[in-house]
Amino acid sequence: EAGVTQFPSHSVIEKGQTVTLRCDPISGHDNLYWYRRVMGKEIKFLLHFVKESKQDESGMPNNRFLAERTGGTYSTLKVQPAELEDSGVYFCASSQRPGSSTGELFFGEGSRLTVL
């Protein structure tokens, strides 16, 4: 069974440009999450989708970040315009049940974003 896949694995852009990250969750997983790890810091929650609905977006840093999950399948996270502090690794995770019940989220390998 395919795991969570993310694309691209690494993106290098200049400040002010736009980047779109994509996540394909495990098939059948209604819950999809985005997390981010900035260098030297801990992994932090960004938002949670249940199917196509945003359940919790309290971790989104600002309105330069836009996440979508049209149709409740794959999700995209767009950063526009990108700033230097957006550099980091963006992880997507999915689960069949909400993470609080088992703690087990299945993570993708992450998309490393470098903003120059």
Partner 1 sequence: RKEVEQDPGPFNVPEGATVAFNCTYSNSASQSFFWYRQDCRKEPKLLMSVYSSGNEDGRFTAQLNRASQYISLLIRDSKLSDSATYLCVVNMENQGGKLIFGQGTELSVKP
Closer of 8 and 98 to partner 1 (Cβ): 98
For partner 1, the binding residues (CB under 8 A) are: 4, 31, 33, 35, 41-45, 48, 50, 55-56, 58-59, 91, 93, 95, 98-100, 102-105, 107-110
Placement of tokens 């600002």 in the chain: 62
Closer of 18 and 102 to partner 1 (Cβ): 102
Closer of 74 and 106 to partner 1 (Cβ): 106
In whole angstroms, how close is the CB of 75 to partner 1 at the nearest point?
14
Q: 37: which 2 tokens?
A: 């790890």
Residues ≥6 apart with Cβ < 8 Å to 76? 20, 21, 22, 23, 67, 68, 69
In whole angstroms, how close is the CB of 17 to partner 1 at the nearest point?
24
CA distance 50 to 102: 16
CA distance 74 to 29: 10
